[in-house]
Structure 1
Amino acid sequence: MTTSAAPPILDFSPFYGNDSEAKAKLVEEVRKCCHYNGFFQITGHRVPLELQRRVMQCSKRFFNLPLEEKLQINKNHNNFNRGYELLRSQMLEAGTGPELKEGLYIGEEIPEDHPYFLQKKLNSGPNQWPQTVSDKEEFQKTTMEYYHAVFELAKDVLGVVALTLGVESSFFEPLTEGAVATMRYLHYPAQPKDEDEKLNRGIGAHTDFGCVTLLLQDEIDGLQVLDAPSGQWLDVKPTPGAYVINLGDLFMRMANDKYKSNTHRVINKSGKERYSIPFFFSGNPDYLCECLPNCREPGESAKYPPITVQDMVTSAYKDSYGRAEKYKKELQAKNVDVGPAVTAVGA
């Protein structure tokens, strides 16, 4: 890894092939990235570009709906994190304002008689689909086709990460079997170029909560990754077809801090609307996260006690949404108009 370099773009195709030398090179490149800042980008995966384009169009069709129609599936009307999220609902970076983004939360279809729903597992419930979006059947079909394709890619990424730890690529199957993952359609409105960056972040500086995130960007930039050694913010330029991959806090905890969950943010200074689709792979909610193989030096203890995926991610959700709610209440006490109220919800 070179200092102050944006996350490299790696060809992921050797993972699927028989060229052992190319595969070993990919594994080594991923290992270096995991140690450095936990970020890399991949091409050569199995998610078709045509599907990526179709799903991005679905996102744009949804956000073009009038606000009152989007609010019909407000995610604050349920406790399982599915549906529409208003602008300025979340606040990941203390000291900023709530974030200038709106979203649609989507996951696996979990019916109300499913054990995950009955046991109130992480983000588990039926999707809240917009009823007024154009060609709504195609909207739902494309959304779920894409969700399942990226779910499989996330398992492949964890397979490569397992190889970097010197274990079989199947090592994380207990984590990925019955896993919970949350996809978001995100829309960042255009901001005036003289807006205060500190207060008006698309997403404030943060690390992700779960195991691994796969991000699909549109053509508008705005994502920045912190280069910790230099303190510089590095722009991650959109590359057609590529995924930006980063490890989350849960994985860093399992790796005993050897692999990094790095700080990143979004500031939309383009003067244009920006869309992105992050896919947050948390894992099986009951999976007990413990120190991974080869992540401790001889005689070194695990830095963290075991914790389930459910407990780790739920706690992080409550912190970020609770922070936004507190901020708004403080402004309301000062008679400052902050727009529609939000409610912090459990994951």
Structure 2
Amino acid sequence: MAPLISINSPNPLNIRDFVVNQGQGVKGLAELGLKSLPTQYIQPPEERNIAEAHHGSIPVIDVSSWDDPEVAKAVCDAARKWGFFQIVNHGVPIHVLEDVKDATHQFFGLPAEEKLKYSKERSATTNIRYGTSFAPEAEKALEWKDYLSLFFVSSDEAASLWPPICRNQALTYIESSEIVVKKLLEILMNGLNIPEIDESKESMLMGSKRINFNYYPKCPNPERTVGIGPHSDVSTLTVLLQDDIGGLYVRNTDTMNWIHVPPISGSLVINVGDALQIMSNGKYKSIEHRVSANGSANRISVPIFVNPRPSDIIGPLPEVLKSGEKPPYKHVLYSDYVRHFFKKAHDGKATIEFAKA
């Protein structure tokens, strides 16, 4: 084991070794009792400066009646204008949401050597990844976050390889949210004048899923770093479960201000990803968002990324081009798009340029 990090004068190599190689993560770093932020996490001023939350917020939609035309209109309007909205009365049981939040805390409460079994270098499969920050090898400044990422292939693989302490809760959350995802996609496709989602289209819209457990430890200087830097998701849709602490900010594309997304008990945050922006030919917007660091408490979140299959070719859907409008996006292999996203640091909306015609 590397020598304990000096709190007053951290050694960059020891920081990285402790956090990444030893699997301690940012959680382990925070638990050293740091009085100030290690230099590796200090973001440039333009990256960390989130002004006070501006007035207004993303729409909150009661979806207790999925067949209500007003619900459909609200969902499509939010996807066009905001790219983000919260849903309440969605039907996913509250105990399922609470169980998966508890499981997140339980996983990150494991000893480092247990979590390290699921790291890139040691995981039994590339479908399971425990890590820290976003892309440590590509980032000039690290993000104040640890994560466990689980790509769903089959229930059998999950049962045999996912961490036992959280696998059942993760699987139940994915299964319970399936109807919500299908209903939202039906509404959004109807909004593009696509009345039915056939089998091939359903596969492209939601052919694969990834669930992340995100852990943001209490930070000694939250104003100098970020939990997650500005980015848009590469998914079709993302279904996000927040805890009650808050810290998610969304870019208002009209004002370019950052708007805080306040936690609402029992709600799910939905956002459009790049894949849906491309498939809708820009009708629905994937929007920049970010997560602030927190100086008072440990925060967690649990997103489910609903994606095309890695082998799918994505591009504007034929139905949205019937009027003759020119597509700004070309057709790309989805796995190439995702690979491009993950090989670099978070950089706002820059990933979408990869698919520009």
- Return the TM-score normalized by structure 2: 0.73
Cα distance in 1 for partners of 2:127, 2:114 equals: 18
Label 1:277 to 1:309 Cα distance change in 2 as closer, same or farther (>3 A): same
| Structure 2 residue 150 is matched with structure 1 residue 106 | yes
Q: Residue 221 of structure 1 contacts residue 270 of structure 1 at CA under 8 Å; is this kept in 2?
A: no
Label 1:195 to 1:242 Cα distance change in 2 as closer, same or farther (>3 A): closer
User: CA RMSD, aligned part only?
Assistant: 2.8
Identity of aligned residues (%): 29
Of the three residues 288, 311, 315, the one matched with 1:290 is 315
Aligned to 2:184: 157
Aligned to 1:273: 298
The aligned amino acid for 1:213 is T
Q: For residues 127-185 of structure 1, give each alpha carbon's deviation from its aligned partner in whole angstroms, at most 9, with x where no partner exists.
A: 74346xxxx4xx332221112222442222211211211222525424256x1111001
Which moves more between the two structures, 59-68 or 182-191?
59-68
Note the C-alpha offset of 1:52. 0.5
Label 1:66 to 1:263 Cα distance change in 2 as closer, same or farther (>3 A): same
Cα distance in 2 for partners of 1:42, 1:111 equals: 27
| Structure 2 residue 92 is matched with structure 1 residue 63 | no
Q: Residue 82 of structure 1 contacts residue 125 of structure 1 at CA under 8 Å; is this kept in 2?
A: no
Aligned to 1:182: 210
Aligned to 1:303: 328
Label 1:41 to 1:287 Cα distance change in 2 as closer, same or farther (>3 A): same
Cα distance in 2 for partners of 1:169, 1:269 equals: 44
Of the three residues 127, 140, 162, the one matched with 1:129 is 162
Note the C-alpha offset of 1:249. 1.0
The aligned amino acid for 2:296 is G
Aligned to 2:174: 147
Label 1:58 to 1:195 Cα distance change in 2 as closer, same or farther (>3 A): closer
Note the C-alpha offset of 1:108. 2.2
Cα distance in 2 for partners of 1:80, 1:232 equals: 37
Label 1:91 to 1:43 Cα distance change in 2 as closer, same or farther (>3 A): farther
Aligned to 2:122: 77
Please give the secondary structure, in 1, of the residue aligned with 2:180.
helix
Cα distance in 2 for partners of 1:125, 1:64 equals: 21
Aligned to 1:44: 89
Aligned to 2:76: 31
Cα distance in 1 for partners of 2:160, 2:244 equals: 28
Cα distance in 2 for partners of 1:190, 1:44 equals: 31
Q: Residue 249 of structure 2 contacts residue 289 of structure 2 at CA under 8 Å; is this kept in 1?
A: yes
Label 1:110 to 1:52 Cα distance change in 2 as closer, same or farther (>3 A): same
Please give the secondary structure, in 2, of the residue aligned with 1:224.
strand
Q: For residues 67-103 of structure 1, give each alpha carbon's deviation from its aligned partner in whole angstroms, at most 9, with x where no partner exists.
A: 2221122134356241311x334369x9862211111
Note the C-alpha offset of 1:297. 8.3
Cα distance in 2 for partners of 1:297, 1:6 equals: 34
Please give the secondary structure, in 1, of the residue aligned with 2:144.
coil
Please give the secondary structure, in 2, of the residue aligned with 1:13.
coil
Cα distance in 2 for partners of 1:269, 1:251 equals: 31
Cα distance in 2 for partners of 1:252, 1:4 equals: 26
Please give the secondary structure, in 2, of the residue aligned with 1:75.
coil
Which moves more between the two structures, 33-42 or 148-157?
148-157
Cα distance in 2 for partners of 1:253, 1:315 equals: 16
Which consecutive residues of structure 1, in runs of 5 or more, have no partner in the other structure? 18-22, 113-123, 324-347
Aligned to 2:6: none
The aligned amino acid for 2:212 is R
Cα distance in 2 for partners of 1:253, 1:11 equals: 27
Cα distance in 2 for partners of 1:125, 1:312 equals: 25
Please give the secondary structure, in 2, of the residue aligned with 1:77.
coil
Aligned to 1:206: 231
Cα distance in 2 for partners of 1:57, 1:33 equals: 30
Cα distance in 2 for partners of 1:279, 1:256 equals: 23
Cα distance in 2 for partners of 1:106, 1:126 equals: 12
Which consecutive residues of structure 2, in runs of 5 or more, have no partner in the other structure? 1-53, 348-357
Note the C-alpha offset of 1:56. 0.7
Q: For residues 45-78 of structure 1, give each alpha carbon's deviation from its aligned partner in whole angstroms, at most 9, with x where no partner exists.
A: 1210111101111110111112222112213435
